[in-house]
Structure 1
Amino acid sequence: MRFKEIIGQAEIKHQLIKSVKESRVSHAQLFLSPPGSGAILLAIAYAQFINCTDKLDDDSCGVCTSCRKYAKYIHPDLHFSYPFFTSKDVKTSTDVIEEWRDMLLEEPYFDLDFWRSKLNSENKQININIAECHDIIKRLSHKAFEADTKVLIMWLPEYLDKEGNALLKIIEEPPPKTLFILVAQNLDQILPTILSRTQLLKIPGLPNHEIEQYLMDKALLNSQQAIEYSFLADGNLLEAKRLLEETEPEHAKYFIDWLRLSNSGDYLSLINFSETLAGMGREPQKNFLKYGISFLRECGLIMNDALVLVKLPPYSLEVARNFSKKVLNQPMLEALVTELEKAHYHVERNANPKILFLDVSLQLVNIIKFKNIPLGTQYI
Structure 2
Amino acid sequence: MIDGRFEVVGAAAPRAFFEHLTAATLSHGYLFTGPHGVGKKTFAREVGRSLLCVTPKKTLLGWCGHCSGCTHVAAGTHPDFYYAEGQVKIGDRDGSGFHETEEATARDLVRQLSMHSYAGGRRVFIIGDADFTREAANALLKFFEEPPADVLLIVTTAATGRILPTIRSRLVEVTFPLLAEGEVRAVLLARGTDPDEAARTAAIAQGRATRAIGLLEDGEGVARDAVVEWFFAAVDGREADASGWATRPTLEEGLETVKTLTRDWIALGVGEGAPLLAADQRARLAALPGREPAAFARMLASLGDAERIARTNVTPALVADLVRMALAPAPPRTTNGA
Relative to the length of structure 2, the TM-score reads 0.69
Tell me the CA shift for residue 242 of structure 1: 2.4
Tell me the CA shift for residue 31 of structure 1: 1.3
The 5 A counterparts of 1:187-198 are 187-198=160-171
Measure, in 2, the Cα distance between the counterparts of 1:28 and 1:290.
31
The 5 A counterparts of 1:136-285 are 136-218=109-191, 220-221=193-194, 223=196, 225-226=197-198, 229-230=201-202, 232-244=204-216, 245-246=218-219, 247-248=221-222, 251=225, 258=232, 262=236
Indicate if the aligned counterparts of 2:123 and 2:150 stay in contact, CA closer than 8 A: yes
1:296 aligns with 2:262: yes
1:218-259 per-residue CA deviation (whole Å, 9 max, x = no partner) reads 363453x5455345543333332222232249959x759957
Tell me the CA shift for residue 94 of structure 1: 4.9
Measure, in 1, the Cα distance between the counterparts of 2:282 and 2:213.
24
Tell me the CA shift for residue 72 of structure 1: 2.3
Residues 1:309 and 1:170: Cα distance change in structure 2 (over 3 Å): farther
Tell me the CA shift for residue 27 of structure 1: 1.4
- Counterpart among 278, 293, 305 of residue 330 in structure 1: 293
RMSD value, Cα: 4.9
Q: Which runs of 5+ in 2 are unaligned?
A: 334-338
Tell me the CA shift for residue 4 of structure 1: 3.7
Indicate if the aligned counterparts of 2:107 and 2:139 stay in contact, CA closer than 8 A: yes
Measure, in 2, the Cα distance between the counterparts of 1:135 and 1:257.
46
Report percent identity of matched pairs: 20
Tell me the CA shift for residue 202 of structure 1: 1.1
Tell me the CA shift for residue 337 of structure 1: 9.8
Tell me the CA shift for residue 347 of structure 1: 11
The 5 A counterparts of 1:368-379 are 372=331
Relative to the length of structure 1, the TM-score reads 0.63
Measure, in 2, the Cα distance between the counterparts of 1:306 and 1:28.
46
Residue 35 (structure 2) aligns with? 34
- Residue 148 of structure 2 aligns to a residue whose secondary structure is coil
Letter in 2 for 1:46: V
Residue 11 (structure 2) aligns with? 9
Measure, in 2, the Cα distance between the counterparts of 1:163 and 1:279.
38
Which one has the bigger strand percentage?
2
Q: How many residues align?
A: 316
Residues 1:282 and 1:32: Cα distance change in structure 2 (over 3 Å): closer
Q: Which runs of 5+ in 1 are unaligned?
A: 101-114, 120-127, 264-269, 351-355, 375-380
Tell me the CA shift for residue 64 of structure 1: 0.5
Residues 1:3 and 1:161: Cα distance change in structure 2 (over 3 Å): farther
Tell me the CA shift for residue 216 of structure 1: 4.5
